[in-house]
Amino acid sequence: MAKFFIQCPHCGKYAEAKTGFFARKKIDCSCGHTIHVRTDKLAGRQCPHCGNMVVFDQSEGEKALCPVCHEPINTLADNQKLEEFSCAQCGVRLQVAKGTERYVCPVCDHENDVAERLMSEKIKKDGLASVIKYEGDNETLVWKHPIEDFNMGSQLIVHESQEAIFFRDGQALDLFGAGRYTLETQQLPLMEKLYKLPTDTEGTFHSEVYYINLATQMGIKWGTDSKIRLFDPTSGLHIELGASGEFNIRVTDSRKLLLKVVGTTGGLGQTELLGGGSDKGFFRAMVMTQVKSYLAQVIKESGINILEIDAHLMALSSALREQINVGLADYGLTMPEFYVARVITPDDDPNFRRMKEQYAEQYLLVRQEQIKKSEAEAAQARKVVEAETEAKMKVIAAQGAAEAYQLQAQAEAAEMRMKGYTYQQETARQVGLEAMQNGITGGPGGGGGIGDVAGLGVALGAMGGVIGMTKEAIGPILGDGGDLGKAVTDAAGAIATPAPDTWDCVCGQKGIASKFCPECGKSRPAAPGAWTCPACGAKGITSKFCPECGAKRPEPPAAWDCPACGAKGITSRFCPECGHKREE
Q: What is the CATH number of the domain that holds 327?
A: 3.30.479.30
Both 480 and 530 in one domain: the answer is no
Q: Is residue 376 part of a domain?
A: no
Residues 309 and 233 grouped into a single domain: yes
Nearest to 247 by CA among 313, 334, 159: 334
Q: What is the pLDDT of residue 124?
A: 64
Within 10 A of 458 (CB to CB), how many other CB atoms are there? 23
The answer to whether residues 564 and 486 belong to one domain is: no
Same domain flag for 491 and 533: no
Has residue 266 been placed in a domain?
yes
Q: Does residue 230 form part of some domain?
A: yes
Q: What is the model's pLDDT at position 336?
A: 92
Q: Residue 410 to residues 137, 368, 416, 417, 522: CA-CA distances in angstroms?
A: 109, 62, 10, 10, 9
Same domain as 550, residue 471: no
- Sequence length of the chain is 584
Does residue 229 sit within a domain? yes
For residue 232, the model assigns a pLDDT of: 73
Number of domains the chain contains:
3
In a domain, 428, yes or no: yes
Phi, psi dihedrals of residue 48, rounded to the nearest 5°: -70, -10
Contact 31, 106 (CB under 8 A): yes
Phi, psi at 29, each rounded to 5°: -80, 160
pLDDT at 454: 44
Judge whether 565 and 578 are in contact, CB under 8 Å: yes
Task: Specify the DSSP element, H or E, that contains 385.
Answer: helix 350-419
**Which is it for strands 204-206 and 149-151: parallel, antiparallel or unpaired?**
antiparallel
Domain boundary among 329, 346, 363: 346
Give the mean pLDDT per block of 10 residues along the chain (584 residues). 74 76 79 79 72 74 78 68 81 78 83 80 62 80 79 80 80 83 60 47 64 88 82 74 88 86 72 65 81 83 79 88 89 90 79 75 80 89 90 89 86 78 73 70 45 45 44 42 45 44 82 83 74 82 82 79 84 83 78
Among residues 449, 477, 496, the one where a domain terminates is 496
Residues 231, 293: one domain?
yes
Same domain, 222 and 326: yes
Residue 152 confidence (pLDDT): 66
* Claim to verify: residue 488 and residue 533 sit in the same structural domain: no
Q: How far apart are the first and last CA of the chain?
A: 162
Give the CA distances from residue 561 to residues 255, 449, 557, 573, in Å, rounded to whole numbers and listed in that order. 137, 54, 13, 11
Rounded Cα–Cα distance for residues 323 and 290 (Å) = 7
Q: What is the pLDDT of residue 411?
A: 84
- For residues 232 and 296, give the distance between their C-alpha atoms in angstroms, rounded to a whole number: 10
Question: Domain of 266?
Answer: 217-346
Using alpha carbons only, what angle is made at residue 237 by residues 235 and 243, rounded to the nearest 5 degrees?
A: 105
- In this prediction, residue 527 carries a pLDDT of 66
328 and 438 in a common domain: no
Cβ count near 345 (within 10 Å): 18
Out of 346, 362, 384, pick the residue that ends a domain: 346
Give the span between the Cα atoms of 205 and 203, in whole angstroms.
7
Question: Same structural domain for residues 559 and 490?
Answer: no
- According to the model, what pLDDT value does residue 163 have? 92
Residue 33 lies in a domain: no
**HSE value, Cβ hemisphere, 13 Å, CA-based, for 456:** 15
- Residue at 74 is within a domain: no
Residue 357 belongs to some domain of the structure: no
How high is the pLDDT of residue 82?
73
Pairing between β-strand 208-213 and β-strand 228-232 as defined by DSSP bridges:
unpaired
